[in-house]
Amino acid sequence: NAGVTQTPKFQVLKTGQSMTLQCAQDMNHEYMSWYRQDPGMGLRLIHYSVGAGITDQGEVPNGYNVSRSTTEDFPLRLLSAAPSQTSVYFCASSRGQGYHEQFFGPGTRLTVL
């Protein structure tokens, strides 16, 4: 199993550009989520999904969209990139209700100029 995979590993955007960060898992996990990591702030939850077709907002959802059309994939879309979105983004998955361990992808380092 590849576990949780993310692409790209690195990305540089200009202010106002849009892009999609890809996340996939091959563990048949029901729950998936996106976090951003900023120095001194740990990881903060952006959006999450408890199953295909079901998404909800986390702590810092503004400027990001998600959808979950399949169990395996959970892309994160930046609609109009801003310098404040410069961060490292992690996707995670967990098995489902009652299984609290989350498995993390390797991250995407995004710089917005």
Partner 1 sequence: AQSVTQLGSHVSVSEGALVLLRCNYSSSVPPYLFWYVQYPNQGLQLLLKYTTGATLVKGINGFEAEFKKSETSFHLTKPSAHMSDAAEYFCAVSHNAGNMLTFGGGTRLMVKP
Which spans of this chain sit near partner 1 (rule: CB under 8 A)? 4, 31, 33, 35, 40-45, 48-50, 56, 58, 90, 92, 94, 96-97, 99-107
Q: How far is the CB of 76 from partner 1 (least distance, A)?
A: 15
Shortest Å, Cβ 16 to partner 1: 28
What are the tokens at 73? 């994939």
Nearest distance in Å: CB 37, partner 1: 8
